[in-house]
Amino acid sequence: MKLIKALQNIKTLIVLLIILSLWGCERDDICAATTPTTPHLIIRFYNIDVLTETKTVRRMNVKAEGNPKLIVNDKTTDSIVLPLRVEALNTINTSRFVLTRDQDFDQDTIQSTIPNPDIIEIKYTPELIYVSRACGYKSVFNNISATRVTDSINWILDIEVIKDTINNENAAHINIYH
């Protein structure tokens, strides 16, 4: 009889400990998947002849300058999403990307196309913003500027910064005309 009562007391104590340990957890202990994190740079490509018309770039590869790993690999698209590096906070940072188009045989002209790489340079000032205890901080990028490195056969003809602050991924930040 005493043994049964002791087991019931132990069982009740264990249940109370489990309830108390779960009660101590807060909702903030897990970062929700819907919580905005550090945004990427979104670039849209437009027709240089009709500035309001998007234009795809055929068989594009994109990599960060000095890094052999491709960010975009053999993709025909009218927009790309690129990561920006944070080297130092509240000071101007620079990311350079090599955008290469047309890397195969062109069916329209029945000739082999020569890959044409262009380099774009993005300058920005990163800032850390506190999100929550579970998610920590995210970076936003202020004072965005973009230029292309000029060479003898640029396929990128113009660059326009649409938003000078990157704090979300809702729309394009930069337009490239070709």
Mean pLDDT over the full length of the chain: 87
- pLDDT digits 0-9 by tens, 28-39: 568 888 888 899
Question: Residue 18: what pLDDT?
Answer: 73
Residues near 82 by Cβ (< 8 Å), separated by ≥ 6?
40, 41, 43, 62, 71, 95, 97
H helices within 24-164, ranges in order?
Answer: none
Residue 111 has pLDDT above 90, yes or no: no
- pLDDT digits 0-9 by tens, 70-84: 999 999 999 999 999
- pLDDT digits 0-9 by tens, 45-100: 999 999 999 999 999 999 999 999 999 999 999 999 999 999 999 999 999 999 99
Looking at residue 69, its amino acid is: K
Half-sphere exposure of 102 (CA within 13 A, CB side): 15
State the average pLDDT over residues 113-135. 92
Residue 155 has pLDDT above 70, yes or no: yes
State the average pLDDT over residues 105-110. 55
* Model pTM above 0.85: no
Question: Residue 122: what pLDDT?
Answer: 98
Tell me the two tokens of residue 155.
Answer: 């396929």
State the average pLDDT over residues 145-162. 94
- The pLDDT > 90 percentage for the chain reads 64
State the average pLDDT over residues 11-36. 71
